[in-house]
Amino acid sequence: MKADVPREGGGFSLGEVVMVPVRLALSAIDAPLRWVQRRLGIGGMATFFLLPNMLIFGIFVLLPFFINFAYSMTGGTALFLPDRSFVGGDQYARLFDCVNYTDPNSCAEDTFWTAVGNTAWFVVLQVTLMILFSLVTALILNRELMARSFWRAVFFFPVLLSPVVVGLIWKWILQRQGLLNFGLYGLGFDPYTWLNDRNWSFAATVGVSIWAHMGFYTLILLAGLQAIPKDLYEAAEMDGTRPARAFWRITLPLLMPNLLVVIVLVLIRAVQIFDEVYVLTGGGPGTSTLYITQYIYETGFATQLRNPGLAAAASILMGAVLVVLTLVQLGLGRKGEKKGARK
Amino acid sequence: MKKTRTMLAALAVGLLTSTAALAGDVRIMWYSDGVEGEVLKDLLDRFMKENPGINVILDNVSYSVVKEQLPVQLEAGNGPDIARVTNLKAQAQHWLDLRPLVADAAYWDENFGGQADWMRPDGSNQISGFMTQITIAGGFANKTLFDQAGVAIPGKDATWDDWAKAAKQVAENQQVPFPMALDRSGHRLSGPNLAYGGNYIGADGKPAPLDDGSKNFLKTFVGWVADGTMSKDVWVSAAGSTYRAAADDFINGQLVYYYSGSWQVPNFSTKIGTNFDWVATGSPCGPSNCTGMTGGAGLVAVKYTKNPKDVAKVMDYLASEPIVKEFSERTLFLPAHKGVLAKGLDFKTDDAQAKAALNAFVEASKTLSDEARKLPGWLWSDAVYGALVTRVSQAAAGEMTVDEAFARIDSDIATKVKDSGN
């Protein structure tokens, strides 16, 4: 009981004072935990400790998933499941009712396929650029820079903003009478309606989402970079290895676990993109920035005579795609790890 | 064990007491276009002083909350006790029948009977609430821009084409970005559709396929968006049926002619002030007539309320003649109350433009077509409006041809009717 020993001069350190209530709490739960352990055995304790987490997961993830699946098998505009009629796979059939999947106009639910196509393009571009920018930024911030903490804060700051604020800020910059056009006009250029242009508005959604979230992923990669032992680089330098080779042979393989986490997180978030885009472009012009989550929201909630069954079916499909993508990536990651271990 | 029981009992008593404290609460969901939220708060404060047992809570929300979130709350059997709503007919099954609860049902029938059917289930004589304002869709012209450009403001019988030509001339002369704008709303598109001879209601009372009248205006409209006569910003600024207004462009002097409605008058009076002169023009004429659309916002009682008697008291107070008169005069809204209309109003504004605009809309109400008067009480109005906005904006953005948009509008509406099980 080291903490009980007074320091020289008779005082206690701050840490010891803080630990007093912690020790009290631990001694209070000690007896009941021992009782539980006697009942369940040591093996059962793992289940006991996991139970609260599993319960929360079950209530807030699994149960809604099954309810959502049940909704996808029903039709009509009623909100409550018991009031809805069972239609089997009709909602899925409606979503897949297409002559040519690459031409949304040939589909019964053309906006669904437009949203799928937009989301696919968004994911490809956003994930690639996000990984690239986050990695480059992390590599730069990992070097001995002047005011390094300041730059780290600068890149992380947008992560602290709410997506609605992010959307509004960029709307004020990009709209017809926005900051960007004001600047262009000042430089003698004609103002341009960025958000009315299909390509520019799409590019804006990609760019804004990268700006808003890059700091978080940079931080994860930076932590990975700092965990790589410095002596590996020193050894490589002594062997005359060029920096590019050191990056491909040392940095990237050792950063792979962090990179994999980042890829999975970025991918999931990209497929789920909604809030900042909803504020920035509202899905327009036309449907050029309508992504799958907005389609689900509008089908299930925002339109008059909404169709919760169709929205549920679309969200089940989106969930399935996410699961497949995540499993593929995790599989590839494990394969890479095994390969690395064999070497 | 005894201690635990005592604690549980105390908790139960506490919960019961807190529920009892809510017994006199009446919650109103309210959205504002102008100053009406402040006026209502003032009126409700007075009510609460006279009725200390009733606590009225005013939740000021945006219009999109009323349009998108309230329906979900109502479907779940929740929601406020009273709500200010524009989508009245389609949600009529959620409104409380005030007939047995109000002090004098005959007073309600006499003064609000004209619009009672807009907010009750078909075939019933339910009193669901009353219209806080009657709105007439119509246009506004920036008079200062017309004067500076030396272009005469088109007259009373001017057509949509006349307005387009004149507005374009003014915009070019004055270097203004938008000659014309029309709110991103199916309701707003419907006025000119009807003026071009359109009719949405089929012989069986269900939606009819788009006819030539509507198609003719919609083709013209998309053409105007393409050539810059009509503001593209408003129509391509969202996907789906999201509502967007062009009021800010008009207030900022960036727009020559704005087709919106009478509810903008107080907004313009407050925000434009003396910055420039503006006039309300009524609705331009089409080949068939010069109709706009009527409608408005109704204050309805929600049937899931726990305090129906208190709700009825609040509704009786807000629907009383002096309160309707004061509310309308202070908010510059056109009232629905027959008695108030008959006795006349003294709108509380020094703004001569606002007074003239209100008179122009009263005048415009005389040219409303029969179809325009039917639509607010038609069950399928919102299904048609939603499909119109979604597809016309896609055509305006160049994603599909106008003919493809027409085919999609018909199929969207047919699907909605099928989905609803009617």
What rounded mean pLDDT belongs to chain B? 90
Distance separating alpha carbons of residues B264 and B280, to the nearest angstrom: 10
pLDDT the model gives residue B17: 39
Looking at the fold, whether A48 and A101 belong to one and the same domain comes out as no
Distances A98 to A47, A94, A102, A321, B128 between C-alpha atoms, Å: 48, 9, 9, 19, 44
In order of their start, the domains of chain B are: 25-134+295-343 (3.40.190.10), 135-294+352-420 (3.40.190.10)
Q: Is residue A74 a part of any domain in this protein?
A: no
pLDDT the model gives residue B357: 93
Q: Is residue A171 a part of any domain in this protein?
A: yes
Distances A308 to A78, A121, A293, B221, B371 between C-alpha atoms, Å: 8, 26, 13, 33, 32
Are residues B71 and A283, on separate chains, in Cβ contact within 8 Å?
no
Smallest CA–CA distance from A285 into chain B, residue: B236
- pLDDT < 70 stretches in chain B: 1-23, 422
Q: Is residue A75 a part of any domain in this protein?
A: no
Evaluate if residue A305 carries a pLDDT over 80.
no
A197 CA to chain B: closest CA distance, Å?
9
When scoring B394, B406, B413 by the number of chain A Cβ atoms within 10 A, the one with the most, hence best to mutate, is B394
Residues of chain A found within 8 Å of residue B244, distances taken between Cβ atoms: 282
Helix (H) or strand (E) holding B59: strand B55-61
| pLDDT, average across residues A295-312 | 87
User: In B81-106, which positions are buried (b, 16+ CB within 10 angstroms) versus exposed (e)?
Assistant: bbbbbbbbbbbbebbbbbbebbeeee
Strand, helix or coil at A122? Answer: helix
Of residues B214, B207, B217, B205, the one with CA closest to residue B411: B207
Q: What is the number of domains present in chain A? A: 2
Write out the two tokens for A120.
Answer: 């696919």
pLDDT the model gives residue A342: 62
Residues 150-179 of A with CB under 8 A from B: 176-177
User: Phi/psi of residue A70, each to 5°?
Assistant: -60, -40
Q: Is residue A73 a part of any domain in this protein?
A: no
Please name the residue that has the structure tokens 């676990």. Answer: A257
Evaluate if residue A10 carries a pLDDT over 80.
no
Looking at the fold, whether A105 and A148 belong to one and the same domain comes out as yes
Are residues A76 and B404, on separate chains, in Cβ contact within 8 Å?
no
pLDDT, tens digit, 9 for 90 and up, residues B328-356 = 999 988 888 989 988 888 888 888 999 89
CATH number for the domain that contains residue A236: 1.10.3720.10
Looking at the fold, whether A179 and A55 belong to one and the same domain comes out as no
Alpha helix (H) ranges present in B273-400?
Answer: 308-319, 321-331, 338-343, 352-364, 370-374, 381-396
| pLDDT, average across residues A20-48 | 89
Looking at the fold, whether A34 and A155 belong to one and the same domain comes out as no
Helix (H) or strand (E) holding A19: helix A14-57
Range of the domain at A324: 94-342
Are residues A286 and B386, on separate chains, in Cβ contact within 8 Å?
no
Would you give the distance in Å from CA B282 to the centre of its chain? 17
By the 8 A CB rule, do B360 and B281 touch?
Answer: yes
Question: How many CB atoms are closer than 10 A to CB A329?
Answer: 15
Looking at the fold, whether A263 and A329 belong to one and the same domain comes out as yes
User: Phi/psi of residue B55, each to 5°?
Assistant: -105, 110
Q: Is residue A81 a part of any domain in this protein?
A: no
Residue A12 pLDDT class (50, 70, 90 cuts): low
- CA neighbours within 13 Å on the CB side: how many for A311? 19
A289–chain B Cβ distance below 8 A for any pair = yes
Q: Is residue A187 a part of any domain in this protein?
A: yes
Looking at the fold, whether A154 and A26 belong to one and the same domain comes out as no
Tell me if the bond preceding A308 is cis, omega within 30° of 0: no
Looking at the fold, whether A51 and A103 belong to one and the same domain comes out as no
Distance separating alpha carbons of residues B270 and B284, to the nearest angstrom: 25
Nearest to A284 among B90, B237, B421 (CB): B237
When scoring B242, B249, B251, B409 by the number of chain A Cβ atoms within 10 A, the one with the most, hence best to mutate, is B242
Residue B8 carries which side chain, given as an amino acid letter? L
Looking at the fold, whether A42 and A187 belong to one and the same domain comes out as no
When scoring A168, A305, A306 by the number of chain B Cβ atoms within 10 A, the one with the most, hence best to mutate, is A305
A105–chain B Cβ distance below 8 A for any pair = yes
Looking at the fold, whether A43 and A175 belong to one and the same domain comes out as no
Q: Is residue A120 a part of any domain in this protein?
A: yes
Evaluate if residue A289 carries a pLDDT over 90.
yes
Looking at the fold, whether A239 and A313 belong to one and the same domain comes out as yes
State the complex-level ipTM.
Answer: 0.79
pLDDT the model gives residue A11: 62
Q: Is residue A89 a part of any domain in this protein?
A: no
Distance separating alpha carbons of residues A174 and A168, to the nearest angstrom: 10
pLDDT, tens digit, 9 for 90 and up, residues A41-94 = 988 899 999 999 999 999 999 999 999 999 999 998 888 888 899 999 999 999
Write out the two tokens for A162.
Answer: 């709410």
User: In A33-51, which positions are buried (b, 16+ CB within 10 angstroms) versus exposed (e)?
Assistant: eeeeeeeeeeeeeeeeeee
pLDDT the model gives residue A9: 54
Distance linking the first and last C-alpha atoms of chain B: 58
Write out the two tokens for B321.
Answer: 């003649």
By the 8 A CB rule, do A190 and A184 touch?
Answer: yes
